Copies of this chain bind each other. A is one copy, B any other.
Amino acid sequence: MSDKQGIFELGLGQNPANHQPLSPISFLAWAEEVYPDRTAVIHGDQRFSYAEFAGRCRRLASALSQRGIGKGDTVSIMSPNIPPMLEAHWGVPMTGAVLNALNFRLDAPTIAFILNHGEAKVLITDKEFSPVIKDALAQLGRDIIVIDIDDALATSGELLGEMDYEAFIQEGSPDFDGSPENEWDAICLNYTSGTTGNPKGVVYHHRGAYLNAMGNVAVWGLNQDTVLIWTLPMFHCNGWCFTWAVTAVGGTHVCLRHLETEKVFPMIRDHGVNLVCGAPIVLNMLVHAPDDHKVPFEQRVDVYTGGAAPPSTVIAGMECMGFSVVHAYGLTETYGPSTYCAWQDEWGELDLEAKTQKMARQGVRCHTLTEQAVIDPETMQPVPADGETIGEVMIRANTVMKGYLKNPSATDAAFAGGWFHTGDLGVMHPDNYIEIKDRSKDIIISGGENISSLEIEETLYKHPAVMEAAVVAKPDEKWGETPCAFVTLKPDAADVSADDVIEFCRGHMAHFKAPKNVIFGPLPKTSTGKIQKYVLRDQVKEL
């Protein structure tokens, strides 16, 4: 016997009875078997039970399969958070194909680039996006099957394709069955928004999608009474894998075509929503919504936020309305959530300031994340867990992408040394919580000292007149770089000068960290709502 396990290997191999590929596809059959009559999806006046929803997913798979779509093919979808988008998360991978959910805020050239780079054979597209899609298709230079979503709640647009989605899935059989041959097979292709250059195509595998969804179940205690409202775009890491996780437990998806606070609050009340996900900008919208939008609700609503640390004022504002906020952290490359700021009972005794400081950290690894560390990228050794020494956050887990599509050099760089390099700089606190201090390129080096732009932004957010803030490095002959702040004031804010803001910062942090310049106005944003610091950096050079 060559294997070291000797007697424990002999005649004890894998077979279909004891080894099955892990895949989130399996969650749908589970929900259908156990809770066939429970509500899977709510969209406007539409309701689909799990039996109906599963039937629709299988019809989609069958219809795609009849068009020759199968293993290794790409199906793209341009859709808001409505049923066809959710159905694509099962219907597409059931055929063996790969789902490519497009960011609906992208422009036509980028969409054309993605459709060609990802080699999409089918595009399912909501009519509201027909202007940009029409343009992108014209730039494509090849044929592609186009299926229109003609949603009753769409407010505009035209039909571009050969057929409507509802007619298309009627072509398919509700008895279609499919699962991957191998859990390492690709399931999704998600393009990074990319602040510069062409977006990169992040390839997910079935194993990772299954495990990240199960991790969400464990972190959140999801169950059949979970009701999630889709304030987070599903194109964003497949809705941080909550598309699959909510289904894994037989919970309810509340669809949301447009993020409008006058609709969100009544929906939370009426549908018994108890889970909300979204970037801090979503929380910001809820907190700053007009008072007459803020319909009260009785249930406890968990809020999972990530993408940037929620300012403490936002956490406090959300809690006042009955939301319970937890901060999470992840990247497109890690299927969304990798870490979360697990609540510790003793924090309940802290004052609001100290408590929200704890809560704003990126936190500890989700149950399904194998390893996370803050590492010196030069030595590849962990930095001390002192809350001060900055290193790069690195991850090892089954919930890390296969790699970047057709981009071996980027893939190799991302996995150098056997760790996934997040590109985020952070510290490890003595209690094993990580805190991101900045993206590598967002650190400001002034007079040889590292200054975290995030730290300055957090201070700016404490100013009562500040609604949004971003800080970048301004080249400086004397200091090398100095911090320059871009600030959007609240609509009803009193007159505030740049000097007022600088003085406020100097009163709340080390003087050398305070911004030297403050510029007022709206902030440029990417299609996913991230502030485009590279645009600000360009502006700063012209100051």
Which A residues contact B (CB, under 8 angstroms)? 3-20, 22, 26-27, 30, 33-36, 71-72, 96, 98, 119, 184-186, 189, 203, 208, 214, 217-218, 221-224, 248-249, 342, 344, 364-365, 367, 370-371, 395-398, 400-403, 405-406, 408, 411, 414-415, 418-420, 431-432
Interface pair B420/A17, CB less than 8 Å apart? yes
Residues of B within 8 A of A26 (CB): 370
Contacts of A208 in B (CB 8 A): 18
Contact (A17, B396) CB under 8 Å given A8-B186, A26-B370 = yes
Contact for A218 among B15, B18, B214, B406, CB less than 8 A: B214
B217 and A402 contact, CB distance less than 8 A: no
Q: Are B218 and A402 in contact (CB under 8 A)?
A: no
B432 touches A33 (CB 8 A): yes
A8 touches B420 (CB 8 A): no
Establish whether residues B367 and A17, one from each chain, have CB atoms under 8 Å apart when the complex forms: no
Is there contact, CB below 8 Å, between B406 and A18? Answer: no
Q: Please measure, in the bound complex, the distance between the C-alpha atom of A432 and the C-alpha atom of B18, giving whole angstroms.
A: 22
Contact: A17 with B218, CB < 8 Å? Answer: no
Which residues of chain B are within 8 angstroms of A5 by Cβ–Cβ distance?
71-72, 185-186
The chain B residue sitting closest to A400, CB to CB, is: B18
In the complex, residue of chain B having the shortest beta-carbon distance to the beta carbon of A397: B20
Q: Is the interface of A mostly helix, strand, loop or mixed?
A: loop
Pick the most buried of A7, A14, A96, A223: most chain B CB atoms within 10 A of its CB: A7
A-B contact pairs, 24 of them (CB 8 A): A4-B72, A6-B72, A7-B405, A7-B406, A8-B203, A8-B405, A9-B186, A11-B411, A12-B203, A12-B402, A12-B405, A17-B396, A17-B415, A17-B418, A18-B208, A18-B403, A19-B184, A19-B398, A20-B397, A20-B398, A34-B364, A218-B222, A221-B221, A248-B367
Taken together as a complex, chains A and B put the C-alpha atoms of A11 and B12 apart, in Å, by 31
Q: When the two chains form their complex, are residues B18 and A398 in contact, meaning their CB atoms are under 8 A apart?
A: yes
**Interface core residue of A14, A18, A72, A98 (most chain B CB under 10 Å):** A18
Which residues of chain B have C-beta atoms less than 8 A from A20's C-beta? 370-371, 396-398
- Please determine whether B249 and A17 come into contact, CB atoms closer than 8 angstroms: no
Q: How far is the CB of A242 from chain B (nearest CB, A)?
A: 15
Task: Please give 7 more A-B residue pairs, beta carbons under 8 A apart, in addition to A7-B406, A20-B397.
Answer: A6-B72, A8-B203, A12-B186, A17-B396, A17-B420, A33-B432, A214-B218
Chain B residues within 8 Å of A396, by CB: 16-18, 20
Q: How far is the CA of A246 from the CA of B224 in the complex (A)?
A: 21
Q: Are A184 and B418 in contact (CB under 8 A)?
A: no
Contacts of A16 in B (CB 8 A): 396, 418-419
CB distance from A26 to the nearest CB of B (A): 6
The interface residues of chain B lying within 8 Å CB-to-CB of A395 are 17
Closest B residue by C-beta to A207: B19
CB-CB nearest 6 A-B residue pairs:
A8-B186, A16-B418, A12-B402, A18-B400, A20-B370, A17-B420
Is A18 in contact with B72, judged by CB distance below 8 angstroms? no
Q: Across the two chains, which residue of chain B brings its CB closest to A396?
A: B17
* Chain B residues in 8 Å Cβ range of A414: 17
Chain B residues near A98 (CB, 8 Å)? 8
Give A416 Cβ to nearest chain B Cβ, in Å. Answer: 9
Chain B residues with CB under 8 A of A432: 33-34, 36
Chain B hits for A14, CB < 8 A: 184
Query: Which residues of chain B come closer than 8 Å to A221, judged between CB atoms?
Result: 221, 223
Whole-angstrom CA separation of A30 from B365 in the bound complex: 8
For residue A9, which residues in chain B have a CB less than 8 angstroms away from its CB?
186
Distance between Cα atoms of A195 and B217 in the complex (Å): 39
A8 touches B418 (CB 8 A): no
Closest to A187 in B: B8
Chain B residues closer than 8 Å to A185, beta-carbon distance: 5, 8
Contact among B34, B367, B400, B415 for A249, CB-based, below 8 A = B367
